[in-house]
Amino acid sequence: MRVQGRSYRSVWLEGAVVRLIDQRLLPHQFAILDCPTSHDTAQAIVTMAVRGAGAIGAAAGFGMAQAALGAPQGSFASSIEQAARMIRSTRPTARDLFYAVECVEASIRQAPDLEAARRAAVQTAQRLADENAAAGEQIGLAGEPLLQDGANVMTQCNAGWLAFADWGSALAPIYQAQRRGKRPFVYVPETRPRGQGAKLTAWELGQEGVSHALIADTACGTFIQRGEVDCLLVGADRIAANGDVANKIGTYTLAVLADRHHVPFYVAAPRSTFDLSTPTGAAIVIEERGEEEVLWVWGRSADDTWQRVQISPAATRARNPAFDVTPAALVTAFITEAGLIPPRPDAIEAFVRRETALPSA
């Protein structure tokens, strides 16, 4: 996708350096963060300089490739193992992260020698990022026919190209519809506590010229209730075998509202987000993040500096679950790179197994 006229991916590998758009600074500053080592890349995931299931997956793959490039001959296997452990421990919820680590590890195991292992690691990481970008494009094409001319869409958080290697999941059908002249309109919930809707989705949509309005998270219900929303389009961090969806906190509420008002609720995600080894949503680890995200809000101050303000009394404590689980029964359909998939275990399994990219160990 394009930023200020130039083409970018959210994260990419240049030589042995992982480069990524620093999402902590958006929308007020556009800057590229360089991560020279796999440790730096893991830190970028922890600090959420890079976030979003697909982008995290791509960064994790590149981080593993960096580990392979930098691991000394004498302790190659243990270095790779250590890097895998470090990257897996960055964030617990997104399926794509674990999938990418597994894939690069498998490609290293299958290589005949050290140089081949390094090459294989880089190639696999690059392939995963390319597949993620291609999946985003295909998801867009699969979802675009669901949007009528002038459709009013509500999304949540940022499931756009910043959250992917490219294109995105939930926003990809909107970008495709926009390019076909359908002029969709997007309700963008702020998505507290981190405000990815306000900071990232509003920025992405603005760059692509898509009409939209920022709304408080509290206002989602009233717009759905009034019949002003034609469909909901959200992403996913992990989808269980039965179709339960872990996604950004707030998603479950939107699904319940959509169900009550008979508005279609679509979950857009590539194959790498589906996890057959997780039977239901009950088995998904939900990350509870630090309370400071709830107690403070980051933004641009009147004097144009990047600041945070405390919104509550100094003594107030907070709870901060970062994701929630939407039961499969509330999902109208999954929008995938292979088209629409119904939220049924058999259909999900058939889709995931059809051409799984995960090499057998």
Size of the residue set binding a second copy (CB under 8 A): 62
Q: Which residues contact 5 (CB under 8 A, 6 or more apart)?
A: none
Classify 281 as helix, strand or coil. helix
Q: Provide the 10 A C-beta neighbour count for residue 320.
A: 17
| 318 binds a second copy, rule: CB under 8 A | yes
Residues for the chain: how many in total? 361
Binding part of the chain for a second copy, among 55-63, 109-117, 213-221, 265-273 by CB under 8 A, reads 213-221
Instruction: Say if residues 8 and 2 touch (Cβ distance below 8 Å).
Output: yes
Question: CA–CA separation, 228 vs 25, rounded Å?
Answer: 32
Q: Phi, psi (5° rounding) for residue 233?
A: -135, 110
Question: CA–CA separation, 6 vs 95, rounded Å?
Answer: 30
| 3 binds a second copy, rule: CB under 8 A | no
Please pick, from the candidates 279, 321, 356, 358, the single residue that binds a second copy as defined by CB under 8 A: 321
Q: How far is the CB of 294 from a second copy (least distance, A)?
A: 6
> Quick one: 239 or 249, whose CB is closer to a second copy?
249
Binding part of the chain for a second copy, among 52-60, 71-79, 115-123, 189-197 by CB under 8 A, reads 189-197
Q: How far is the CB of 322 from a second copy (least distance, A)?
A: 9
| 150 binds a second copy, rule: CB under 8 A | no
> Quick one: 78 or 222, whose CB is closer to a second copy?
222
Question: CA–CA separation, 289 vs 56, rounded Å?
Answer: 17
> Quick one: 318 or 358, whose CB is closer to a second copy?
318
Binding part of the chain for a second copy, among 8-16, 85-93, 116-124, 184-192 by CB under 8 A, reads 184-192
Q: Provide the 10 A C-beta neighbour count for residue 106.
A: 15
Q: How far is the CB of 237 from a second copy (least distance, A)?
A: 14
Please pick, from the candidates 71, 257, 335, 348, the single residue that binds a second copy as defined by CB under 8 A: 257
> Quick one: 141 or 297, whose CB is closer to a second copy?
297
Instruction: Say if residues 186 and 158 touch (Cβ distance below 8 Å).
Output: no
| 297 binds a second copy, rule: CB under 8 A | yes
Question: CA–CA separation, 137 vs 48, rounded Å?
Answer: 24
| 216 binds a second copy, rule: CB under 8 A | yes
| 227 binds a second copy, rule: CB under 8 A | no
Classify 206 as helix, strand or coil. helix
Q: How far is the CB of 277 from a second copy (least distance, A)?
A: 23
Question: CA–CA separation, 177 vs 74, rounded Å?
Answer: 53
| 191 binds a second copy, rule: CB under 8 A | yes
| DSSP summary character for residue 288 | B
Question: CA–CA separation, 319 vs 210, rounded Å?
Answer: 34
Q: Which residues contact 85 (CB under 8 A, 6 or more apart)?
A: none
> Quick one: 213 or 350, whose CB is closer to a second copy?
213
- Tell me which residues are annotated as active site: 237
| Helix intervals (H) in 91-180 | 95-110, 114-143, 172-179
| 253 binds a second copy, rule: CB under 8 A | yes
Q: Is 253 left (phi over 0), alpha (psi -120 to 50) or beta?
A: alpha
Q: How far is the CB of 245 from a second copy (least distance, A)?
A: 13
| DSSP summary character for residue 308 | E
Q: According to CB under 8 A, which residues from 259 to 278 bind a second copy?
A: 260
> Quick one: 149 or 292, whose CB is closer to a second copy?
292
Site of interaction with a second copy (CB under 8 A):
27-28, 187, 189-193, 195, 198-199, 202-203, 206, 212-223, 225, 248-250, 252-253, 256-257, 260, 286, 291, 294-302, 307-313, 315-321, 324-325
